[in-house]
Structure 1
């Protein structure tokens, strides 16, 4: 928690009403949510009115909710040095025999914390945006691009128009020209804030295009300018990369969007599979001949071919 915000709460706590105390207790206990929630969402969780939230923010000495969000996110979103992160991970990885077990346990903990990190109402808001979009542009740079591509590919397979891009500079302008009021823009920006993000947001706002942000550390940078923020759990002190929770989140979003129109989703998959069959004129998979199977037997099943035992 940001010491400045903590200090401000301590200074004014005795002057607050019972509702105001519930609001600051929410800020203190849920800094991640405080860094992205709207006044209405904070009010619902603190069981007060929207006016009480705004009044409490002013009593804390902030000019508005945006400034308080940045204060709440200051400790959650420090600038991370990737070189130092790698060095820290290497110190935890000196026993290679335990490395797989450690990274698996860390990944399991990240998965368990994902529902706490992404509140249901925030997830539902993102689902509604994607389900209503005539087409979706997903933007991701560096290691975030595979996540962006996975989301766009999944949307296409369930009957939605979508595309992913990692283009920068002048070339990015052609991608942004797709945006309009019926579209949706998804930014996958876990750790790094680049100029392209700002330009994309500005263009989406200009055209009336709703914006979904998937991030780990940048919630406070964008919260005032996007429609909904999905904050994935911190990976700063664990071995797995942020890809683990981002891909889980993408899978969940795809299932949720599909559930809004199951017939459309099934038709999308049928179309994909029909075209695959026409393209390859049969099975997509390489036939498992006895000679190939003998080279790569399935564990505990001989060659793995039907009717053959482990004894041959």
Structure 2
């Protein structure tokens, strides 16, 4: 079976490598995936593929794993990388419009489904050692700097607020260039930087990591899979967040979940500190007339 210009050569290679190990139903699913254009495949759920192939969603998920992927989300993510690099953003948005249609109830259902897929995929990527390392680093810090580049400023600000509410001293910035340089003058060796950045390994990211490390600060990078591989040995800890290739759900959803995990983990390991911070917050709110 040949891959076309709109289908995935990567998937074809996986199929050729593993086809002999597939059952009859798994083979049906695999062949269906191989003939499906990537700009269609990335919007398909396991349930929809199961209906199209007369199988079950469990069979679809099992087929993705038999083909050498961790599951359907990774299959879609890896097979669509070439499309993401070569297809202009405007064209990708047009593809999204065609795939979702304009039935708002159906669109809402698709977005909820994609959000669940992103969170589940991120849960599967959690590395226990990296999580314990990151929490320990935060606990020992003087100030936690939460930095977010571009749209990643949103989870960075969420992380700073969540950590502050459990008793950590935090600062936050979404700045870049000269403005960020001015802010980072205040960094000290006992500070920790939690850096949120999803995808592209831009020159500014490299510079920030190099400069922060040179000061002696520890860096926790919250990022996607590709940046994880590029920076695993360059920072103190890497926590991986996954989005969805369809872009119907934001990477920030997963990053915010990671921020909540970090803050709550600090709280449960430092309960008196967290309770004292909660009391101070409640007292401050009461003074400005806000009920807790």
Normalising by the residue count of structure 1, what TM-score does the alignment of the two structures yield? 0.63
CA-to-aligned-CA distance 1:85-135 (integer Å, 9 cap, x gap): 433322222133311111112212222222211222222221111122111
User: Which of residues 253, 257, 261 in structure 2 aligns to 1:248?
Assistant: 257
Q: Which residue of 2 aligns with 1:193?
A: 201
Conserved? CA contact 2:243–2:249, under 8 Å: no
1:265 has 2:274 as partner: yes
- SS of the equivalent of 1:218 reads helix
User: Which of residues 88, 99, 121 in structure 2 aligns to 1:92?
Assistant: 99
> Distance between the aligned counterparts of 1:74 and 1:105, measured in 2?
19
CA-to-aligned-CA distance 1:134-178 (integer Å, 9 cap, x gap): 111111122111110000111111111111101122121122223
User: Which of residues 76, 83, 105 in structure 1 aligns to 2:113?
Assistant: 105
Q: Which residue of 2 aligns with 1:220?
A: 229
Q: Which residue of 1 aligns with 2:210?
A: 202
Q: How many residues align?
A: 222
Instruction: Sort the Cα spacing of 1:205 and 1:99 in 2 relative to 1 into closer, same or farther, 3 A.
Output: same
CA-to-aligned-CA distance 1:23-78 (integer Å, 9 cap, x gap): xxxxx9689xxxxxxxxxxxxxxxxxxxxxxxxxxxxxxxxxxxxxxxxx998976
- SS of the equivalent of 1:229 reads strand
> Distance between the aligned counterparts of 2:205 and 2:165, measured in 1?
26
- SS of the equivalent of 2:279 reads helix
Instruction: Sort the Cα spacing of 1:76 and 1:97 in 2 relative to 1 into closer, same or farther, 3 A.
Output: closer
Q: Which residue of 2 aligns with 1:233?
A: 242
Conserved? CA contact 2:243–2:254, under 8 Å: no
Conserved? CA contact 2:243–2:250, under 8 Å: no
Summarize the alignment of residues 1-312 of structure 1 with structure 2, pairs less than 5 Å apart.
Answer: 80=85, 82-94=89-101, 95-216=103-224, 217-237=226-246, 239-278=248-287, 280=288, 282-284=289-291
Where structure 2 has 5 or more consecutive residues not aligned to the other structure, the ranges are: 1-8, 18-66, 71-76
Instruction: Sort the Cα spacing of 1:204 and 1:226 in 2 relative to 1 into closer, same or farther, 3 A.
Output: same
> Distance between the aligned counterparts of 2:92 and 2:161, measured in 1?
31
CA RMSD of aligned residues (A): 3.1
Normalising by the residue count of structure 2, what TM-score does the alignment of the two structures yield? 0.67
Between Structure 1 and Structure 2, whose CA radius of gyration is higher? 1
